[in-house]
Chains A and B, each alone.
Chain A
Amino acid sequence: MKIIVCVKQVPDTANVKLDPETHTLKREGVASIINPFDLFALEAGLRLREQAGGELQVLSMGPPQAAEVIKQAIEFGADGGLLLADRAFAGADTWATTAALAAGVKALGGADVVICGKQAVDGDTAQVGPGLAMRLGIPQVAFVKGFREVDGQSLVVERQMDDGFDVVKLPLPGLITVVREVGEPRPPSLKGKMRAKKYQVPVKGAADMGLDAAQVGLAGSYTQVVEVFAPQASGEREMLGGAPAEAGAAVIDRLVQAKVIMVGS
């Protein structure tokens, strides 16, 4: 089985601060780590490989120093990886990110199973997994919390829901995103650490994968982050009384009115 795990390098969220002047994330001096959910994705991949055999590659898009997360994945037991690093990728939204990652999956020779974390702790959109599946034209199941059956043709997985879980059969090739219940990440291994030390992370840019610079990065993005800010606490508050169901409905109404949430048709 060919497994590709997507891992993103993120700032250590425990220590991220917003610059009050520029409203951007203060990244200087903040350690970079593997997106915590991607450790679960990696653990899921390692368990799949243990069960089904085969090979596990990690894929990351990010600046050159993101090679670190690929090396780290090798410490945990990944067989190899690919870093997508190119100035052209900078400023990517989720749409442009999936364009690059889809090309990366192909550059790695495709996969039977692509595994993503549930979401990245900085961007937090949880869109990249499903978006990548769409780009690759393969089915996807998000929020996977466990495996039931594994064979070459399909995966039977448990999908975390608010009120329990679904059991879903995913024909392969397919993509899953995983939640932490999928299993506690193992420690790195000694042999992995020794391999990682020597491992030269392969790097590809947009042109190497036949991507037009206009498709990726800021140029290929439909959304642009204009401002990031910590909302000011206004101090205003309103108490809603009544039975829980009524009070709940009233809260929804207020939030819709304030355009904090939208109710779809």
Chain B
Amino acid sequence: MDYFLSEEQEMIRDLCRQIAEERIKPVRAELDEKEEFPTELMKALAQADLFGIIIPEEYGGLGGGCLENVIAVEELSRACLGVSTTYAASFLGAYPVILFGNEEQKQKYLTQIASGEQLAAFALTESASGSDAGSIQTRAEKKGDEYIINGSKQWITNGGEAGIYSVVAITDPNKGARGATAFIVEDGDPGFGYGKKETKLGIRASATRELIFNDCRIPADRVLGREGMGFVVAMRTFDQSRPGVGAQAVGVAQGALDEAAAFARVRKQFDKPIITFQAVAHMLANMAIQVEAARALVYAVARFIDSGAKDTSKVSAMAKVFPTDMAMQVTTDAVQILGGHGYMREYPVEKMMRDAKILQIYEGTNQIQRNVIGQELNKEYGRKK
């Protein structure tokens, strides 16, 4: 369907599709099998300027917004979610700097992210603090013109691979939600290191690792925004990034639909291509309907965010929850349509199904998204009385 993209947006889509076909598809199974970080592919994406999509032009980027981001992420996800997660997580790490960084921080960090010279990462989750982000324990204490950080972050995408980390830590334990602050931590900062590297069900090409802060010392000018704004930074970041997770879902589901439809046309049973069995055709039809509906939602929300709309939490959550539930269903159905073939590693759909699951979990589980939407509805309908 035509979404009336600009010439530039079409260029982004075509280039990402080309890279996905020519570079990502041939290696995705091996990266998954070996649980190998896609270093070469990240270099190719950097050379293609794709890390600059959402970075303002004055910092070497292309100045695109949420729509440009979702277009790129969708196309990469169609080939491999592990790769697209690695790519998208760099933007997740960049958003706090884009939204809250001062001029020097932007100059220093955004230029490196835009060129792809450094990957970025975003670190909020801890072992005892997942959905309940407010319960994080990592402490940052100001000493002179430095902060000393102690604690650890768990399951951080691009951990150990990124050079730039946006980290949320508690600066004042007595202030509750206003006691957290976002910082930039660089790879190599004294006292900053990496712990356990996870092995995973899916998105195995992406690195998920523990960050360890052991009297980690950083200069005081690494604060993003102001002290106490940590959760505001995190929430505004998620408002921008969640449609990107929705775009990952649209991409992987489209990839699964592509495989399932192509297979159903050539696989014959009872002397007929299985697509001629109405039960199979209807499954494919439902998959196609769901994918298109999700894409329409993601693009519409991305455009809404790019219009400068203020309150986007509710629609951002919608643009994450609907597509990601859809992707889980569609990838599972794709395996069903391929039957035994679908269950085998030789075909790409089992990987898509394994990969899709993460989308309902990270950047806020789908239950948490529904909580957000529910709270917003409660507010809205309270006002309407």
Contact = CB atoms under 8 A, between A and B. Distances in A.
* A and B physically associate: yes
Interface of A: 77, 186-194, 197
Residue among A77, A188, A190, A192 with max Cβ neighbours from chain B (10 Å): A190
Contacts, number: 36
Nearest to A191: B49
A187 B62 contact: no
Given A187-B19, A190-B15, 14 more contacts: A187-B23, A187-B47, A188-B15, A188-B18, A188-B48, A189-B47, A190-B12, A190-B48, A190-B49, A190-B50, A190-B53, A191-B52, A193-B11, A194-B8
Nearest to A50: B47
Contacts of A194: 8, 11
What 4 pairs across the A-B complex have the smallest Cβ distances?
Answer: A190-B49, A186-B47, A189-B49, A187-B48
Contacts of B52: 190-191
A55 to B, nearest CB: 18
Contact of A187 (B7, B8, B12, B18): B18
A193 B62 contact: no
Contacts of B53: 190
Nearest to A186: B47
Nearest to A190: B49
A77 B48 CA distance: 9
A189 B11 contact: no
Interface of A is mostly: helix
Nearest to A76: B47
B346 interface: no
Interface residues of B, number: 17
B44 interface: yes
A197 B18 CA distance: 18
B104 interface: no
B22 interface: yes
Interface in B48-87: 48-50, 52-53, 62
A209 to B, nearest CB: 34
B53 to A, nearest CB: 8
Nearest to B19: A187
Contacts of A191: 49, 52, 62
Contacts of A186: 44, 47-48
Contacts of B50: 190
A193 B19 CA distance: 14
Given A187-B22, A187-B23, A193 B44 contact: no
Nearest to A46: B47
Interface in B9-25: 11-12, 15, 18-19, 22-23
